[in-house]
Chains A and B, each alone.
Chain A
């Protein structure tokens, strides 16, 4: 956790137009001057532009787009989600950090969120990597403890896709689609990926980690990804606020969770179906552990599995795999 760097950056942001002496900053933060000098260097390494020297004082060159807890916390509208925030400038992966946090046996509250400006080893399914770019993507993981059996856990990842779909559409006005089970697309290109992990007893989840990677302000995608992935900035033609989207998402997700506790699976299935063009009547191909399934979609079952009508009219309920081709 980079709490000290956050405090320094927040202090600098509150004095945007003036140069603050190193002595004063060190005194305000309660650390020796030598420590402050080190922290300034660390912040610079993460890409924050700070002008000045130890004995002339420091000033921010421009307001950096950083997911500071100091900026997020006062604006939270949720009961639990995001109330505990771990903010990093750089971490291997937010899911991996969440898992380490839990394995250390620390008491981590429900709804704790790990957010990082950059991931050095962003993960996808089965060890695939996720392209991370500093200050461009929204990378976070949630720690939850829903009182449900493991078989219902995938509903939460579908719910995450629904909540992010709503947050992005409301905040950016970009049209977003949900590809089964939980990728967000703009047109035919991926803009958001979700990867979840659970640790569970036989009949009850112990902890759940839901990781989200959203491409927000990438000016362009790397050559090898630009045919299959995009960012909200590319699609909307302007930079978007990661903090606004995150706040909107938190609220959407918590409401959906409350509805799920009241009404069960339909609370999520109905909304997913309403927002996904893949839910009904879509011809597609799914690659699942070496086999290819082909058919027309006929909604989701109550666990969130995709009902796929085969050529012979039989319905196959698909629980895993990637939609690799669609019309």
Chain B
């Protein structure tokens, strides 16, 4: 399983709030993702237990364990109540996706309230590890939007 596939699985899991647990087995690698708690905070948290990844497929660099709860991640939070948009218009592509490298000041998303579009910029340079809300859904003040591994 490549790092890219791993990321996509986590992103898929994060976006579907109805999913409690996800288990995938491919080419000898078994991955289990489980929500920390059923009644956790509105922002879904993602945990990938260390032990779940049995063996790296290739001899290349081992992917670092991904965990949205880990302390070395930086969270971009919503500065206002509104609607979360990942792109400028429904027809255009998202500003960023999981795995993208962003700079300080890169636009990550828009929070819209009362026809006011707030472009949310990254406060750090690093890699987008997970996107914690679904496009077009409401967010509360202080909700975690993105987890970024600072560079």
- B137 contact set on A, CB distance < 8 A: 289
Among A35-43, A56-64, A151-159, the one that faces the other chain is A151-159
B80 CB to nearest chain A CB (Å): 4
- B136 contact set on A, CB distance < 8 A: 289-290
Do A198 and B91 have beta carbons less than 8 Å apart?
Answer: no
- A262 contact set on B, CB distance < 8 A: none
> Given that A151-B81, A153-B80, A289-B138 are contacting pairs, would A319 and B113 also be in contact in the complex, using a CB cutoff of 8 Å?
yes
Which residues of B from 104 to 151 have beta carbons under 8 Å from A? 112-119, 121, 123, 136-138, 141
Q: Who on chain B is nearest to A304 by CB? A: B114
Do B121 and A319 have beta carbons less than 8 Å apart?
Answer: no
> Would you give the 0/1 interface string for A286-327, flagging 1 where the beta carbon is closer than 8 Å to chain B?
001110000000000001110000000000000111000000
Do A195 and B115 have beta carbons less than 8 Å apart?
Answer: yes
A202 interface residue per 8 A CB criterion: yes
Do A200 and B81 have beta carbons less than 8 Å apart?
Answer: no
Do B79 and A151 have beta carbons less than 8 Å apart?
Answer: yes
Known: A125-B112, A149-B79, A157-B116. 19 other contacts (CB 8 A): A126-B112, A127-B91, A153-B80, A154-B113, A181-B115, A182-B114, A196-B116, A198-B117, A199-B119, A200-B79, A202-B77, A202-B123, A289-B83, A290-B136, A304-B114, A305-B113, A319-B113, A320-B82, A320-B138
Interface size counted on chain A using CB atoms at 8 A? 31
Residue of A149, A198, A289, A321 touching B116 (CB-CB under 8 A): A198
Do A198 and B113 have beta carbons less than 8 Å apart?
Answer: no
B58 interface residue per 8 A CB criterion: no
Do A305 and B141 have beta carbons less than 8 Å apart?
Answer: no
Which residues of B approach A to under 8 Å, CB–CB?
A: 77, 79-83, 85, 88-92, 112-119, 121, 123, 136-138, 141
Q: List 12 A-B contacts (CB under 8 A).
A: A125-B112, A126-B85, A127-B90, A151-B79, A153-B80, A198-B118, A200-B119, A202-B123, A305-B113, A320-B113, A320-B115, A321-B83
Q: Who on chain B is nearest to A149 by CB? A: B79
Do B115 and A319 have beta carbons less than 8 Å apart?
Answer: no
Give A153 to B116 CA distance when docked, in angstroms: 8
A197 interface residue per 8 A CB criterion: yes
Residue of A157, A199, A289 touching B114 (CB-CB under 8 A): A157
